[in-house]
């Protein structure tokens, strides 16, 4: 079942600069091999439900296994019969804006 998630995984109690921790999380997500895109607030991941959730789990535990309190914010779009929604959802809006 195709799943597109927007996930933010961030540490608590590690100071003001989170970029090194976020980079560790994104590195794990990218290593999953699933299509993904990172923006300033979220990383979007697309693929089969179990694979996407495994990537979220692995990325979360990249911090939590180091004893770091970790917050996960996740939004999921489960859409049977669709693929590449990571790109096509944005393309549809851009097409309408160009009219």
| Structural domain boundaries enclosing 92 | 2-98
The CATH number for 71's domain is 3.30.70.930
* Whole-structure pTM value: 0.91
C-alpha distances (whole Å) from 86 to each of 3, 10, 47, 67, 89 are 10, 22, 10, 32, 6
Look over the chain and give the mean of its residue pLDDT values, rounded to a whole number: 96
Looking at the structure of the chain, the number of domains it has is 1
- Answer for the pair 80, 1: CB distance below 8 angstroms, yes or no: yes
pLDDT in tens, 73-93: 999 999 999 999 999 999 999
pLDDT (mean) for 42-59: 98
d(C-alpha 16, C-alpha 31), whole Å: 26
User: Looking at residue 65, what DSSP letter applies?
Assistant: T
């Amino acid at each position: 079942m195709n799943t597109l998630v927007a996930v933010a995984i961030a540490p608590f109690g590690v100071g003001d600069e989170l970029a090194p921790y976020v980079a560790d999380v994104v590195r794990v997500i990218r290593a999953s091999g699933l299509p993904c895109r990172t923006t300033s607030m979220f990383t979007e991941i697309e693929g089969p439900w179990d694979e996407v959730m495994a990537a979220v789990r692995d990325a979360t535990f990249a911090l939590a296994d180091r004893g770091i309190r970790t917050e996960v914010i996740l939004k999921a779009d489960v859409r049977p019969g669709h693929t590449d929604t990571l790109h096509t959802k944005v393309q549809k809006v851009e097409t309408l804006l160009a009219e």
